């Protein structure tokens, strides 16, 4: 099994049209090893720090559950760091 590699990270800034500041700063899609893509992630400004909100689904009971997430904290931090790097590059442009 090959090591997990981020082959593409797409970050689209949230340009809110209503003039209000949104906590959602960007929308994110990540492709792994040219073969698996996760879209629907949101980069959230939590006040003290940024975090990623992963896609969710609603069960028949009404309970909202994550559709996917990084199980390993090390991977989770790497994803966030790489997304933040892309985000700040876009903000500077």
Q: Residue ranges per domain, the chain?
A: 6-92
First to last CA, the chain: 38
Give pLDDT, residue 15.
Answer: 84
Q: Which residues of the chain have pLDDT under 50?
A: none
Angle at 44 between CA 17 and CA 67, to 5 degrees: 110
Angle at 10 between CA 56 and CA 34, to 5 degrees: 90
User: What's the fold here for domain 6-92?
Assistant: Arylsulfatase, C-terminal domain (3.30.1120)
Q: What is the pLDDT of residue 18?
A: 60
- Which of 2, 73, 74, 67 is closest to 32 using CA atoms? 2
Non-local CB neighbours of 7 within 8 Å, separated by 6+ positions: 31, 32, 33, 34
pLDDT at 4: 83
pTM (predicted TM-score): 0.87
pLDDT digit string (tens) for 57-67? Answer: 999 999 999 99
């Amino acid at each position: 099994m090959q090591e997990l590699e981020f082959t593409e990270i797409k970050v689209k800034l949230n340009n809110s049209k209503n003039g209000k500041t949104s906590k959602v700063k960007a929308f994110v899609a990540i492709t792994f090893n040219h073969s698996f893509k996760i879209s629907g992630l949101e980069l959230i400004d939590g006040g003290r720090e940024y975090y990623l909100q992963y896609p969710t689904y609603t069960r028949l009971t009404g309970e909202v559950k994550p559709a996917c997430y990084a199980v390993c904290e090390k991977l989770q931090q790497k994803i966030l760091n790489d997304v933040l790097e892309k985000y700040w590059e876009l903000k500077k442009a």
